[in-house]
Amino acid sequence: MDGPSILHADLDAFFASVEVRDDPSLRDRPVAVGGGVVLAATYQARAMEVNAPMNAATARLRCPSLIIVKPRFDAYVAASRAVMEILERYTPRIEKISIDEAFLDVSGSRRLFGSGPEIAGRIRDDVRAEVDLPISVGVATTKHLAKIASRVAKPDGLCVVPAGGESEFLAPLPVGFIWGVGPVAQRKLAGYGICTIGELAALAPPTIEAWMGEHWGAHLWALANNRDPRPVHGKATAGSVGAQSAGDATDIDKRRNTLLALADRVGSRLRRKGFAGRRVSVAVRFDDMTSVTRATTLPAPIAETDPIYALASSLADSLVAERAEGRRVTLVGISVSLLARTPHLQLTLDVDPQASEGVRPGSPHHLRRRELDRAVDLVRNRYGRDAVRRAALAGAKPEVRAPTEQLDEDGE
């Protein structure tokens, strides 16, 4: 049997680690990055129960000696690029899932660099030597298990789950280690006497589906039994453009305004780079730090702000309605993927104006939005981004996180 070859590389306390690296006086001290809200915290701060996304005033009450530094997103982007360049030495099959973490499939790199665990060790050494940042790596036979292994490895460690030993590794771990299972789901499962992944895996699928819902229950059972067929999407796939905003977005009007600002940013960058995409994804994070994503795929690519916003707001509204369970929404994000160079647009006949008119590629409404965006882009290119703003966003400027707004290198 081949050894594990799926890696999950995750930089530890990334923003905070960059600040400590660049200011040695902060080493071994409780440090948080942020302003009114904590974006990241060192493990010394976490030991005092300071975590993101926590109000800075609450963080200071928990840790009076806490040092809060302002974020430097340019520094984080530069560090992320340096780390990703190291990962690319070992395989082209890299799936970057955020600014500080990525999956790798190194099954085709064994003859050059050795086994999965050996490559993971080399990556950790290179990142420490060249970028001077701590990174934890999990090595397993599936993406889900590799991510769990990297969490077990933290901080600054390496965890290998041998092929054939997956069930033994998972069984004693808390159910909260499963990706997407937050405190609310943990409490619900605990009410049924289920606290570990092994206990969850031993149940019959219909039982979990009755407790948690058909789709979610089946998904949990599959992950608990390490059934995760998802491949690592590497350089052969199209890139993506995304942006996100942290802050209270529980109120539907505030959330929609934030999504409109994000769609405006994502759409304008797609158009500037000459790309359009068929897949629109939305990410929502709750105050218990669980994150959920939802996506829809279109028959043709789009890059216009209004259609992106219409799809994103619909996805986010349904997701929050189904999954909020009384939790606050603390982050929303939009991503457009399955990119292609902006193609010639195939016009569609206006035979059913009620059928998704706002987002139907090639529809009359879509063409009008396309011309409007072109005019806005021309004005902004000449006079600056703030020269034209949407009326819905007048007087408000949702904070868009620059590090998550990016065009993957394979899409440049």
DSSP 186-251: HHHHHHTT--BHHHHHTS-HHHHHHHH-HHHHHHHHHHHTT---PPP--TTS---EEEEEES---S
What are the start-end ranges of the E strands in 303-398? Answer: 329-341
Give the pLDDT score at 263. 93
Compute φ and ψ for 232, nearest 5 degrees. -80, 120
Question: What are the structure tokens assigned to 137, written together?
Answer: 């790596």
Give the pLDDT score at 364. 62
Give the pLDDT score at 359. 58
Residues contacting 381, CB < 8 A, separation 6+: none
Give the pLDDT score at 347. 42
**Distance of alpha carbon 67 from alpha carbon 27, whole angstroms:** 11
Compute φ and ψ for 207, nearest 5 degrees. -65, -50
| 3-state SS, residue 101 | strand
Give the pLDDT score at 216. 86
Pairing of strands 101-105, 135-140: unpaired
Q: Give 263's strand partners.
A: none
The closest of 138, 325, 291 to 213, measured between CA atoms, is 325
> Which position has the token pair 């605990």?
190
Radius of gyration of the chain (CA): 22
Contact assessment for residue 252 and residue 288, using Cβ atoms and an 8 Å cutoff? no
Q: Where are the alpha helices (DSSP H) in 274-332?
A: 305-323
Contact assessment for residue 401 and residue 244, using Cβ atoms and an 8 Å cutoff? yes
Sign, Cα dihedral of 104, 116, 8, 132: negative
Residues contacting 384, CB < 8 A, separation 6+: none
In whole angstroms, how far apart are CA 340 and each of 265, 276, 300, 346? Answer: 18, 6, 10, 14
**Distance of alpha carbon 356 from alpha carbon 354, whole angstroms:** 6
In whole angstroms, how far apart are CA 339 and each of 34, 41, 265, 303, 334? Answer: 33, 35, 16, 10, 14
Give the pLDDT score at 133. 97
Which residue of the set 19, 95, 101, 166 is catalytic?
101
Q: Tell me the whole-structure pTM to 2 decimals.
A: 0.61
166 assigned to active site: no
What is residue 328's DSSP assignment?
Answer: P
Question: What does the pLDDT profile of the chain (412 residues) look like in tens digits?
Answer: 468 999 999 999 999 999 999 999 999 999 999 988 899 999 999 999 999 888 999 999 999 999 999 999 889 999 999 999 999 889 988 998 888 999 999 998 888 899 999 999 999 999 999 999 999 999 999 999 999 999 999 999 999 999 999 999 999 999 999 987 888 889 999 999 999 999 999 999 999 999 988 888 898 999 999 998 889 977 544 467 888 888 889 999 999 999 999 999 999 888 888 888 888 999 998 887 777 888 888 888 888 999 999 999 999 999 898 887 778 999 999 999 888 775 544 444 444 443 344 555 556 666 676 677 777 777 777 777 667 777 666 655 555 544 333 433 333 3
Contact assessment for residue 229 and residue 92, using Cβ atoms and an 8 Å cutoff? no
